[in-house]
Structure 1
Amino acid sequence: MTTDTAYRVNGVGRADGTGVWAVLLPAGRYDAERLVHHDTLELTGLDGTARPRPGDQVAVLADEPPRLVALGRVVAPTGEAPEDPDDPLSERGPAELVVAYTRRAFDEPVPADAVTLDRPVSPLDPAVFRRLVDRLGPPKERRSWLVSLDLPIEAESPAEAVRLFWAYVQELGPRELPAFVSPSGDELAMQAFVLGEEANQDPEEDD
């Protein structure tokens, strides 16, 4: 990886005594991270000798175009992790690199043109890292939201209806089911989301 400046100590950028790295999301992983909340990012099958150490800072990037989608710190693997974070039933394997998210920007990524991506994990210049962090700006204030998912289900009993509900949720997931969200106390502002984006659910408005 190359950046607009050149600062390396033993091949690894340093800031406040920790390494600074850029991690490129694999193809298709960006959508998976947007659709379902994960506390960590697990990457397997990495090659090469340069590896972040626990405590190192990480800029998580998506490609085409390069953009910053999250910040994190490397943590020690605690065991095995799923190969596909969007599929909890997928086969499990060893997590070679685990990044604990400290800041997410999947919905509003910022440009990362100063970083040239040529491998999944590379050292990053601390000055470039700081500029990327500055582009994110301060975190938004957290607030309470009401999120609901309504499914008409035919069943012989309430218990069976609940079982079918969870079966449909697992089968269809956030890629197909619309979730309805509104600020607490303002249900009239409800919006539907599919695939992580606002989706119109009123067929009359499409005409």
Structure 2
Amino acid sequence: MTDTDRRVSGTIHVRGEGGLGDGAWAVLLPPGRYDAERLVHHDTLELTGVDAAGAAYPTGAAPAGPAAPAGPRPGDPVAVLAEGPLRLVALGRVARPTAERREDPDDPQSDPASGPLVVAYTRRAFDEPVEAEGLTLDGPVTALPAGAYRELAERLGPPPARRPWLVSLDLPIEAETPAEAVRVFWSYVRDLGPQELPAFVSPSGDELAMQAFVLGAEANQDPEEDD
């Protein structure tokens, strides 16, 4: 029997035999990727340049024998983390790439080429990540010790209830026709995006609670309050 204790400090501590988790993995976001994932909703996380087949194992937890998994496999649970400090930002499961590549594109019988690691999100916490202190990563993809994934997931707590929101983006556009105004509008949206354009959001039926968001965070749009 393997169990996980949470110390007073919040450090993940694993007891029991065999340090390998049940096919669970920790994936560390590359620098700058956290902001990109927080700004725009994605169903999956695709990481190129990650050698998932050469996933690292924590010291003392490396599996032995031919039955040991070489890396993340479809369906394996994943904890997505960001640095500075180390914190849990999402949960997911390993998914198959949309298109399988071959080492020799002209030979369909050649061995599959190492492709991107794809993670299908099951829970996002980009707006309110939780600290993952006590967890040691040995690379961009690290096998989690037994029980560590479950302990990390418990730190997130139950997901908040979903509710309807009204989101709007109003831009004053000068144009000769309504159709041209719409085209200019979408050009602004494409070129400026969430980094510069404020989006206004309010609970459905409570427009007085409207808030402006820029860069994924609440932003004051009243210049008089800045003075």
TM normalised by structure 1 equals 0.85
Q: Secondary structure at the match of 2:92?
A: strand
Tell me the residue number matched to 2:186.
166
Gaps of 5+ in 2: 1-11, 56-70, 101-113
Structure-2 residue corresponding to 1:13: 21
Q: What is the aligned residue count?
A: 187
**What secondary structure is seen at the aligned counterpart in 2 of 1:159?**
helix
* Alignment-derived partner of residue 36 in structure 1: 40
Cα deviation for residue 95 of structure 1 reads 4.9
Alignment of 1:156-195 (within 5 A): 156-195=176-215
2:150 to 106, 124, 130: 130
The residue that corresponds to 2:172 in the other structure is: 152
What's the secondary structure of 1:5's corresponding residue?
strand
Task: For residue 14 of structure 2, give the secondary structure of its aligned residue in structure 1.
Answer: coil
Alpha-carbon deviations, 1:59-96, whole Å to 9, x = none?
Answer: 0000110100000000110138xxxxxxxxxxxxx851
Paired residue type of 1:13: G
Please identify which structure carries the higher strand content. Answer: 1
Q: Is the 8 A contact 1:35 1:195 kept in 2?
A: yes
Q: Which residue of 1 aligns with 2:110?
A: none
Report the Cα distance in structure 1 between the residues aligned to 2:17 and 2:182, rounded to whole angstroms.
Answer: 56
TM-score of the superposed pair, with normalisation by structure 2: 0.78
Aligned residues: percent identity? 73
- Give the drift of 1:6: 6.9
CA distance in 2, matches of 1:126, 1:103: 20
Q: What displacement does 1:176 show?
A: 0.5
Contact kept? 1:7, 1:13, Cα under 8 Å: no
Note the aligned Cα RMSD (angstroms). Answer: 1.8
Structure 1, unpaired ranges of 5+: 81-93
Residue 80 of structure 2 corresponds to residue 60 of structure 1: yes
Structure 2 CA distance, aligned partners of 1:110 and 1:138? 13
Contact 2:21–2:148 (CA under 8 A) maintained in structure 1? no
Larger radius of gyration: 2
* Counterpart-to-counterpart distance in 1, 2:222 and 2:115: 43
